[in-house]
Amino acid sequence: MQKDILDRSDLELLIDQFYKRVLSNPEISFFFTEVVELDWETHLPRIVDFWESNLLGRGPYKGNPMHVHIDLNKRSKLEHNHFEVWLQLWEESIQANFDGPMAELAIKRAKQIAQLMQLKLQSPPSL
Ligand code: HEM
């Protein structure tokens, strides 16, 4: 049986696996390589921080993913199918490496955030 997501090193492995899938995916890789030219040495630990805060209730993440994706959406539109692919790759990366309540929660949280993001991207900016 596979282990659950328990600490930062588990998240590092997960994020590494997830981005390998993202970067070899023909439908969404361009966001990360062309729309934004990411500095991976900064981005990867930031994403690990985000999930450490979100799932493990600790971690140094201070940021606003909604604003980041609203900006991204202005540069290149984030469509519903992009979110579907993103979530599919996230779920695959988790299921290939982990099993347990935290792994389930990571899938559930990502779906909730993706839903909220899509709502925010549709609604007009608040005054
Ligand atoms: C269509 C799906 C998505 C695409 C193409 C996408 C793409 C990106 C890109 C290109 C960045 C870097 C932006 C920059 O640094 O300027 C980014 C940042 C980030 N994304 Fe996404 N994303 C998607 C969905 C999601 C979802 C569903 C989540 C959370 C569950 C998420 C979490 C984050 C976080 C935490 C950051 C870092 C924000 C920061 O720097 O503080 N993304 N995303």
Reported as a single tens digit per residue, the pLDDT across 102-127 is 999 999 999 999 999 999 999 766 65
Residue 125 pLDDT: 63
Cα–Cα dist 27/99, whole Å: 27
pTM (predicted TM-score):
0.95
CB 65 near ligand 1, within 6 Å: yes
Contact in structure between 98 and 14 (CB atoms under 8 Å): yes
CA–CA distance, 99 with 49 (Å, rounded to integer): 21
Is any atom of ligand 1 closer than 6 Å to the C-beta of 47?
yes
Question: What average pLDDT score do residues 45-61 get?
Answer: 94
Judged on CB neighbours under 10 Å (0-12, 13-18, 19+), 14 is: buried
Q: What is the pLDDT of residue 1?
A: 80
User: Tens digits of per-residue pLDDT, 11-48?
Assistant: 999 999 999 999 999 999 999 999 999 999 999 999 99
What's the confidence (pLDDT) of residue 123? 73
Residues whose CB is less than 8 angstroms from the CB of residue 40 and which lie 6 or more positions away in sequence, other chains included = none
What domains can you pick out in the chain, each with its CATH number? 8-35+64-121 (1.10.490.10)
73 — phi, psi (to 5°)? -60, -30
Tell me the CA–centroid distance for residue 64 and ligand 1, in Å. Answer: 10
What is the predicted pLDDT for the residue at 77? 97
Confidence tier at 59 by pLDDT (50, 70, 90): confident
